[in-house]
Amino acid sequence: MALQPTQPVSGDDEFGIIEPLCAVFRRSLKDAGLKYTPERAQILDTIIAFDALFEADQLLDELKTKGFRVSKATVYRTLKLLEDAGIIQRVLFDRDQSHYQLAYGNAGNTLLVRVDTGEVETLELPELVAIRDKICEARGLKPEGHRLQIFATGG
């Protein structure tokens, strides 16, 4: 169970970015023989409303604030389903807790973390993909994904 890369999203996104995520989720659930329940809808909506990274606990709080009553267990179970669907990805830079964010395409693999303020910016870094692919090719490997975190201070 260790060493799993973040699941890359399937690509294209021919519809735009945010709106069809619920459709993507529905399809993914249906394909797995699972249901699109109110709790799962509320969780996805709440995640979309976030503008940045979040933790399971924040999500739980936000759900409560919105008046949704969803249990912690369901939150964790749904996070896993959303990850399977490629809708969110885990972005780990802290051993104590998982941090998640929406996965638009392959975005979000690169994070700029302000260690002084805790701010996090998501970067697009096409050069990095090129470097990655070159490295893999040189070894006869197929790239499956990557994750970069840059830490910085000051400003």
What is the C-alpha separation between 140 and 136, in angstroms, rounded? Answer: 6
Q: Is 127 a binder of DNA (CB under 7 A)?
A: no
CA triple 104-105-106, angle to 5 deg: 105
Chain centroid offset of residue 64 CA: 21
What is the nearest approach in angstroms of a second copy to the Cβ of residue 125? 7
User: Which tokens hold the place of 100?
Assistant: 């998640």
Find the binder of a second copy among 50, 68, 93, 104 (CB under 8 A).
93
Distance, in Å, from the CA atom of 4 to the CA atom of 26, rounded to the nearest integer, reads 24
Pick the closest to residue 105 from 91, 121, 86, 92 (CA basis).
86
Stretch that binds DNA, among 65-73, 109-117, 132-140, 146-154 (CB under 7 A): 65-73
Minimum CB separation of residue 1 from DNA in Å reads: 8
Measured from the CB atom, the residue of 23 and 123 that comes closer to a second copy is: 123
The residue range among 3-11, 19-27, 56-64, 78-86 that interacts with a second copy, by the rule CB under 8 A, is 3-11
Q: Regarding beta strands 100-102 and 110-114, do their DSSP bridges make them parallel or antiparallel, or are they unpaired?
A: unpaired
Contacts (CB under 7 A) with DNA, residues 40-59: 40, 55-57
The residues binding DNA (CB under 7 A) are 29, 33-35, 37-40, 55-57, 69-74, 76-80, 95-98
